[in-house]
Structure 1
Amino acid sequence: MTPTFRPRWFVAGDLNGFFGLVVDNLSILGFIALALVGIFGFPAEVVYTKMFPGTALGVLVGNLAYTAMARRLAMRTGRDDVTAMPLGLDAPTSIGMALLVLGPGFLAFRQQGMDAQAAAIATWQLGMASLVVMGLLKLALSFCGDAITRWVPRAALLGSIGGAALTLLGFLPLVETLRSPVAGLVTFGLLLYVLVARGRLPVRLPGVLVALLVGTTLYYALGLAGLGMPGFALPQGVTLTFALPVPTLHFIDGLPATVPYLPLLLPFGLLMVVGGINVAESARAAGDDYRTRDVLLVEALSTLVAGVCGGVAQTTPYIGQPAYKHMGARHGYTLLAGVFVGLGGVFGYLAGLVQWLPIAVLAPIIVYVGLDITVQAFQATERRHAPAVALAFLPSIAYLLVIKLGNPAWIAPEHHAALYNAGDGHGLPELAAIVTLGNGFIITAMLWSTALVAMIDGRTRRAAGVLLLGAALTLFGLVHSVDPRGGIYWPWTLEGLPKLIAWQFAGAYVVLAALLALLSLQKERPGSA
């Protein structure tokens, strides 16, 4: 140990790390903006001047903290090769916030009679409150992260997010990619070449940056030549607007609106804690021994700061810390990226960059992230638990079908009854079954996968206990909500067919749990494990 050792602030590899980290964050910000503005008709001004600054501030605060942690570790160990933990916006939950919380929330406020501007402000407050809820959960769980990994098997944790990744981050953005086939498919193919096949490029630039530049050039070149998509137009000039994110209590106004979305928000926070534990382990394996609790606390505090200051997407340490280390990055790249993103939210140039990046070029990055998370769900799980990972995908497919069939969260309340028309005599109405399976799909996936892992491991009574928990959660709408919007409720307030569906789903869990409990009383067969 050298007490007077002072590591360099910047090395050549930090430039590669900077581009990689900034592009990751830009792609997620871009997809959030394009989803809200393009799909839901959200006022762009609210996205760029109210949501972006606070969200970017969370990235700045987290990266500054991780830079300080890396520098302190380097000074303590006398090493000049310590790589900081990269922090940015979490892709699955950020896209999930846009598609499953903010967008539907905006339409719900509009259905209450609010004009677009008022509904957008109410949705912004909902997003802030959601971030505060997830941040507080992450803060509390930072001190018991190891216990969580003991209670919930890896197949359930990774399988539930893998299903969401495959459907929401894989399929939906792929559709957007193919709406501009030349630019989109070329960008996607280049990303697969450099990130999956590890192919070489003739230029010494980050592969993701090259793919973005090629795709964007193709998009605008074809459009200007009259060969692009119908209705092509250049983005309007962006006026740089100063918007300083300051702490506000507006999130309190949004807290009541978070209640219907708790079945999504709580698993989102839980998954980030587990992800933070895995990231800390991967960094430790690469030679940088960060304290897991410190990694989780920074993640939680940066999310809270973002939420209190107007942000709507949670931050997380990225799993690719060893990859940044292999790039030659140390701790200058997190400092540069944090300052670039943070100031970009304040001065508005992030909005300009996002508006000039076509969705067909941004979407392939999200598709790749979805594929990577899906593959990781299988690779990081024991082979014998693979069926539990696959099982966890099914509820998310139900939610995808709901989105494409006409998301009930976007349907006017007076039309809800159409979802619960009488069946054909052979069971519940098909759409009602799909909606009920899709509501609370992340928690449902975790329950199903946990129960199957317990069965595979011969812990049949544990599986029965998990199923009984599923029955209890079903009665209150935390999973299998019969409210088309996915809201929670008291079971005795239900009437008619929704009441029948809720009790049938809860009863199914109870009957299966009872059968498994009886089966657990059998004597073990000779030679069984």
Structure 2
Amino acid sequence: MPASAPLAQRRRAFGGGDLNGVLGLVVDNLSILAFLATALVGIFGMPADIVFRRMFPGTALGVLLGNLAYTWMARRLAAKTGRADVTAMPLGLDAPTSIAMALLVLGPAFAGYRAAGLDPGAAGEATWRLGMASLVVMGVLKFVLSFFGAWVQRSVPRAGLLGSIAGIALVLMGFLPLVEIMRVPVVGFAGLGIILYALVAKRRLPFGTPGVLGAGVVAVALYYVLGPLGVLGTGYHAPAPWTWRLGFPWPSLAFIAGLPATVPYLPLILPFGLLMVVGGINVTESARAAGDDYPTRDILLVEALATLVAGVCGGVAQTTPYIGQPAYKAMGARTGYTLVTGLVIGLGGVFGYLSNLVELLPVAVLAPILVFVAIGITVQAFEAVPLRYAAAVVFSFFPAIARMLAIKLGDPGIVDPARFGSLYADGAHGVSELAVIVILGNGFIITSMVWASFVVAMIDGHVRKAAAIVALGAVLTAFGVIHSVQPIGAVYLPWLLDPGARALVWQFVGAYGALAVVLLLLSIRAGDARNAV
């Protein structure tokens, strides 16, 4: 390496591109934390102190540790290659799974604990332990799968993986925040319009202002200027006074008490971890294509260990390397932006200023960012797979839509158990429509993978493989991994269910079994399944 190379690297350790990178990466993480807090505190009524002083510090610690590790990896790569233009892999909280954790796991669990008679404090503590345990389970899964990344990528079609996460993005990460935007439309729609102008239409804002920053400044100005004047009506809430909420993310064994509570949520939790492993492989390939050749296993191990440590220290949302490494590289970011972002987010969780920022920035200001990310993820699902698989991607959206409807209908059986009393029959009409929606949505991520995978197999002419995938769906249905007949989506041994529930399980198992037989017969008729069309 030339003697001048280390000096060049030091000069580029933090520059203008790194400043832009910090703004983007910090805002991304802040928006996810804001939605997490808004969902848990504002929608489900969880005590704010538990969210800000128990959940935030450990969650932020995962971001700090992961970004420090990626910064070190980038500087090691720069020293090895003698290049000063190496860009660190950005790491942050994963938006789709963090939002899904809030809306599908933590929030409903808190509501369930309250319905069981626990006071808000005790219910919040139990929910926090469940969140910790969920993160530990995901961390362990990601650690194991990090050694088998290539096998995972080969086993599940890209349409199934991207389609399932796009379904989360479109209906949970996109639609639900869009509803929050329209609660304060003067603020939210203006911010969304600026983001679409700058990041979708790719038009330049005045003074070269980054799109996310420009949208935030305009939305905040509208909120705090028009709000006190009464223009926003009930959509405006005066900011809470600044409060130092110290919370140290000490390692704790409290997650052990939450492990049993994770069982009903495993059909959600395990796919969350699987998706991040595959996502980590994809972003590593993306960075390699941009010129920075990071070892895939190292990227995955950092992601897994950051998630695992965050869970042991009280975190409830998993970290992931972001897909935008080439974009950060194009804006001139190198290694300083990940270092600074990690420190800002990590220390903010400890000293509490993240919670104050979250309270100062209403959801209507931050939700447009989530809508944009949802659009990007959904578009990627179609761009990253061959056009002939588009139908498989679309088909995989329907279980996520069912889950969104169940959420908007109030999660019968969780928020109000009495509403789900007629689960198994609706007079002469058989199973009630509400029950079908909830059952279709239970385990929706794995359902989406199964549905997209067997459609892809059929498109490729592998009809026997499609029959085998559908048969696997029947097995998963029998044990409630998908289409659970329990309102909260719990897994079970079907022979231990009461007769009404067991009869409904066998109906859904029979549906998959009948389709598997039909596909098998079609493959025999075609002669050679691999050549069937």
1:306 aligns to what?
Answer: 310
Which one-letter code corresponds to 2:180 in the other structure?
E
TM-aligned CA distance change 1:284 to 1:362, over 3 Å:
same
Does the CA contact (< 8 Å) of 2:422 and 2:432 recur in 1?
no
CA displacement 1:346-380 (0-9 Å, x = unmatched)? 00100110000011111111111111111111110
Which one-letter code corresponds to 2:32 in the other structure?
I
User: Given the alignment of the two structures, is residue 25 of structure 1 paired with residue 29 of structure 2, yes or no?
Assistant: yes
Does the CA contact (< 8 Å) of 2:413 and 2:419 recur in 1?
no
Match of 1:460 among 463, 469, 479: 463
Work out the CA distance in 2 between the residues paired with 1:382 and 1:214: 39
What's the offset of the Cα at 1:293? 0.5
2:160 aligns to what?
Answer: 156
Match of 2:523 among 477, 495, 520: 520
Which one-letter code corresponds to 2:164 in the other structure?
S
CA displacement 1:94-141 (0-9 Å, x = unmatched)? 000000001001011112211000110110000000000000000000
Which one-letter code corresponds to 1:18 in the other structure?
V
Does the CA contact (< 8 Å) of 1:129 and 1:251 recur in 2?
yes
Q: Structure 2: which 5+ runs fail to align?
A: none
What's the offset of the Cα at 1:415? 4.1
User: Given the alignment of the two structures, is residue 73 of structure 1 paired with residue 77 of structure 2, yes or no?
Assistant: yes
Secondary structure of 2:15's counterpart equals: coil
Secondary structure of 1:518's counterpart equals: helix
Stretch deviating more after TM superposition (240-249 or 39-48): 240-249
Work out the CA distance in 2 between the residues paired with 1:203 and 1:306: 39
Does the CA contact (< 8 Å) of 2:400 and 2:445 recur in 1?
yes
1:499 aligns to what?
Answer: 502
Match of 1:238 among 226, 238, 242: 242
| 1:110-509 matches, cutoff 5 A | 110-230=114-234, 232-425=236-429, 427-509=430-512
1:82 aligns to what?
Answer: 86
Does the CA contact (< 8 Å) of 1:3 and 1:76 recur in 2?
no
Does the CA contact (< 8 Å) of 2:425 and 2:431 recur in 1?
no
TM-score (norm 2): 0.97
Does the CA contact (< 8 Å) of 2:227 and 2:236 recur in 1?
yes
TM-aligned CA distance change 1:451 to 1:252, over 3 Å:
same
CA displacement 1:455-508 (0-9 Å, x = unmatched)? 111111111111111111111100000001111111002224322221011011
Does the CA contact (< 8 Å) of 2:132 and 2:312 recur in 1?
yes
Work out the CA distance in 2 between the residues paired with 1:518 and 1:420: 32
Stretch deviating more after TM superposition (168-177 or 238-247): 238-247
1:510 aligns to what?
Answer: 513
Q: Structure 1: which 5+ runs fail to align?
A: none
Does the CA contact (< 8 Å) of 1:31 and 1:95 recur in 2?
yes
Which one-letter code corresponds to 1:250 in the other structure?
A
Match of 2:110 among 106, 110, 116: 106
Does the CA contact (< 8 Å) of 1:177 and 1:184 recur in 2?
yes
TM-score (norm 1): 0.97
Does the CA contact (< 8 Å) of 2:462 and 2:532 recur in 1?
no
Which one-letter code corresponds to 2:445 in the other structure?
I
What's the offset of the Cα at 1:3? 7.6
Secondary structure of 1:200's counterpart equals: coil
Work out the CA distance in 2 between the residues paired with 1:296 and 1:231: 42
What's the offset of the Cα at 1:148? 0.8
What's the offset of the Cα at 1:409? 5.0
2:41 aligns to what?
Answer: 37
Secondary structure of 2:320's counterpart equals: strand
TM-aligned CA distance change 1:411 to 1:224, over 3 Å:
closer
Does the CA contact (< 8 Å) of 1:70 and 1:83 recur in 2?
yes
Which one-letter code corresponds to 1:81 in the other structure?
D
Does the CA contact (< 8 Å) of 2:108 and 2:415 recur in 1?
no
Which one-letter code corresponds to 2:473 in the other structure?
G
Does the CA contact (< 8 Å) of 1:409 and 1:486 recur in 2?
no
Which one-letter code corresponds to 1:481 in the other structure?
S
TM-aligned CA distance change 1:409 to 1:174, over 3 Å:
farther
Does the CA contact (< 8 Å) of 1:10 and 1:333 recur in 2?
yes
Work out the CA distance in 2 between the residues paired with 1:181 and 1:528: 52
Which one-letter code corresponds to 1:475 in the other structure?
A
Work out the CA distance in 2 between the residues paired with 1:528 and 1:406: 45
Does the CA contact (< 8 Å) of 1:16 and 1:205 recur in 2?
no
Secondary structure of 1:477's counterpart equals: coil
CA displacement 1:424-446 (0-9 Å, x = unmatched)? 34x43211111111110110010
Identity %: 63
What's the offset of the Cα at 1:524? 5.3
CA RMSD of aligned residues (A): 1.6
Does the CA contact (< 8 Å) of 2:446 and 2:482 recur in 1?
yes
Secondary structure of 2:207's counterpart equals: coil
Does the CA contact (< 8 Å) of 1:104 and 1:409 recur in 2?
no
What's the offset of the Cα at 1:303? 0.3
What's the offset of the Cα at 1:408? 2.3
Does the CA contact (< 8 Å) of 2:420 and 2:435 recur in 1?
no
Work out the CA distance in 2 between the residues paired with 1:294 and 1:510: 41
Does the CA contact (< 8 Å) of 2:406 and 2:437 recur in 1?
yes
Does the CA contact (< 8 Å) of 1:18 and 1:337 recur in 2?
yes
TM-aligned CA distance change 1:3 to 1:502, over 3 Å:
farther
Secondary structure of 2:147's counterpart equals: coil
Does the CA contact (< 8 Å) of 1:451 and 1:466 recur in 2?
yes
Match of 1:57 among 61, 79, 90: 61
Which one-letter code corresponds to 1:10 in the other structure?
F
TM-aligned CA distance change 1:10 to 1:507, over 3 Å:
same
Work out the CA distance in 1 between the residues paired with 2:235 and 2:437: 36
What's the offset of the Cα at 1:207? 1.5
Which one-letter code corresponds to 1:230 in the other structure?
T
